[in-house]
Amino acid sequence: MASESRARPTTETVGASATQRSRTWTVTLRVWLATAGATLIVLLLIGVVSHRFVERALREVHEARLANLLDAEESMLDLMRPGDGGKALLSPRSGVAYVFTRDGRIAWTSAAQGAASLPQELLAAIDTPGRDAMRLEAYPDAAGAPVIGAARWLARHERGIAIELYADRAYAPLAAFDRSLAAVAVLAALAWTAWLALLIRRRGAPRQFGAYLLDRPLGEGGMATVYLAHHALLKRPTALKILKLNRLSDELVARFEREVRLASQIMHPNIVEIYDYGHTRQGRVYYAMEYLDGLDLQQLVAAGGPAPVARAVHVLRQLCAGLAEAHANGLVHRDIKPQNIMVCVRGTEHDVVKILDFGLVKSLTAPDTRDLTRDVRILGTPLYMAPERFRNPGDVDARADIYSVGAVAFFLLTGRDAFQAADDAELVQRIMNEDAARPSSCAPQPLPVELDLLVTACLEKRREDRPQRIADLIEALDALAAARRWTQREAADWWAQHRRLQSGHDHAP
């Protein structure tokens, strides 16, 4: 046995859905911020570590390079004659060579216009004979250009030699590396910003299914989700039922299409009207129906308790009228339950009943629906299913709907189900073998004998013992309504009070 929850268009779920959407958006935004922040921190750490690694490697390279240049200059100085004055010194690429005296004055330089004395940063070489002085941090030369340098004092020559390299060229790889990291950070920031913009756009811009734009979710079942939508051109509010992606099996798509096809054949004020059917290029299947402003019977009883007799008769009369139209078209609903019966406000008219969800509808005349349901599982809500549906799910007729009407009437009048059980197995056993209690024994209000007997008759185990036609129920309900009339004033007052209470609940701290 499988029990399937039905999605239905109802305004009572809008507040919860909007709240859930807001929470989902908040969570998504927090995830985005956390991810972007973590990525930024990781990039910064990578940048700092990588910068230091590259800088340290370059310092080691330049330290060795400056030492090699000093060795070359020393060798050249050893080869010169005493009177040459060091004029044959090599001129290093991207730098300047110096020969200096003990007091730091420049004896010769490879630069066209050199400094008069050795830079202070390299004077330490004079005080540390036999050891090179290295300045690998950039300092200004005589012309103010940033350089790095090294010096060595040669006691045998009574001279010192020094090399300066331009820092911007020496550390050009580090600058290029930093620019690359900055570019990666900028690209990451742009990517995260684009993602955020896309999230905002997706949140603000409605998705489109055919000619319909989604506004917000209204309800969800195991098979489909119902959204409030509007026609892109006509702007008419619409309830859009969309089959879930994870339910796109051939069997369920066939059921979905059959539901639309059969339900659209019934034109009656008490049956939800089907506007359109279609599927997207991505394979999403949907249909559009009228948007209903109201409550299902489950919500109605939860909000106000068992319905007064006059209101219950008013609701049941419309329910039976809608079923009468379906039965006249050879269709059995097979899933009549409080959640599939909406009580709506239609303009200035209150307590208009609409029958929803023809997902389990059976045609008594079309052979294709018999094929689809021949080996079908027992689908529906056991509390409102006729006993014969458990014995042979495919062998049902209009009297199965009459049983469900009796179970719905019992719930509407008493605020409880006709059978109580700990689990489905016990529930089915009781439905098949035990008589239901009379509504008058459970209702918190006096019930007319005629109504009590009518509901009890609908709940008979043998379908031969129930009223045989839905028209019989309509006649009996018409007689009850004549003595107990539910007025539009009473209905309007109830809805006004309900909405005041709902509004106060929504704004309560």
Looking up residue 228, the CATH number of its domain turns out to be 3.30.200.20
Dihedral sign, Cα of residue 329, residue 332, residue 335, residue 337 = positive
pLDDT band at 16 (very low <50, low <70, confident <90, very high): very low
Residue 221 and residue 182 share a domain: no
Q: Which residues, at least 6 apart from 147, have a Cβ–Cβ distance to it below 8 Å?
A: 95, 96, 138, 139, 140, 141, 164, 165, 166, 167
Q: Does a structural domain hold residue 316?
A: yes
Give the chain's mean pLDDT: 82
Which range has highest mean pLDDT (147-161, 307-321, 413-427)? 307-321
The answer to whether position 12 is within a domain reads no
pLDDT value at 340 more than 60: yes
Residue 190 domain flag: yes
pLDDT tens digit string along 162-220? 888 888 888 888 888 888 888 888 888 888 787 777 766 666 555 788 888 888 888 87
Length of the chain: 509
**What local confidence, expressed as pLDDT, does residue 341 receive?**
96
Judge contact between 213 and 235, C-beta under 8 A: no
pLDDT greater than 70 at residue 264: yes
User: What is the arithmetic mean of pLDDT over 300-326?
Assistant: 95
Average pLDDT estimate for 38-49: 84
| Together in a domain, 163 and 68 | yes
Q: Are 363 and 262 in contact (CB under 8 A)?
A: yes
Find the mean pLDDT for residues 128-136. Answer: 76
Mean pLDDT of 399-424: 94
pLDDT tops 90 at residue 415: yes
Active-site residue list: 335
Domain containing residue 27: 18-205
**Contact between residue 8 and residue 296 where contact means Cβ atoms under 8 Å apart:** yes
- What is the share, in percent, of the chain residues with pLDDT greater than 70? 83
Report the pLDDT value the prediction gives residue 480, as an integer from 0 to 100.
Answer: 95
Q: Which helix (H) or strand (E) holds 389?
A: helix 387-391
Q: Is there a single domain that holds both residue 464 and residue 353?
A: yes
In a domain? residue 438: yes
Where is mean pLDDT largest: 32-46, 227-241, 329-343? 329-343
d(CA 157, CA 144): 30
- Tell me the sheet residues that pair with 286: 242, 278
Residues 495 and 418 in one domain: yes
481 vs 281, more confident: 481
If asked whether residues 214 and 70 sit together in one domain, one would say no
Same domain, 365 and 341: yes
Asked if 269 and 317 sit in the same domain, the reply is no
Predicted TM-score (pTM) of this structure:
0.62
Domain boundary among 272, 291, 310: 291
**247 and 160 assigned to the same domain:** no
DSSP letters spanning 167-183: HHHHTHHHHHHHHHHHH
Q: Among residues 271, 291, 311, which one ends one of the domains? A: 291
Output the domain CATH number for residue 143: 3.30.450.20
Looking at the structure, tell me whether residues 389 and 461 fall in a common domain.
Answer: yes
State the pLDDT confidence band at 40, using cuts at 50, 70 and 90.
Answer: confident
Average pLDDT over residues 459-486: 94
240-246 average pLDDT score = 81
What is the strand order of the sheet 146-154 is part of? 106-109, 95-100, 159-166, 146-154, 133-140
> Is the separation of the CB atoms in 466 and 415 below 8 Å?
no
- Position 84 scores a pLDDT of 58
Whether 420 maps to a domain, the answer reads yes
- Please count the other Cβ atoms lying within 10 Å of the Cβ belonging to residue 278: 14
Distance of CA 302 to the CA centre of its chain: 30
How many domains does the chain divide into?
Answer: 3
Three-class DSSP category at 194: helix
**DSSP character at residue 271:** B
13 falls within a domain: no
**163 with 30, same domain?**
yes
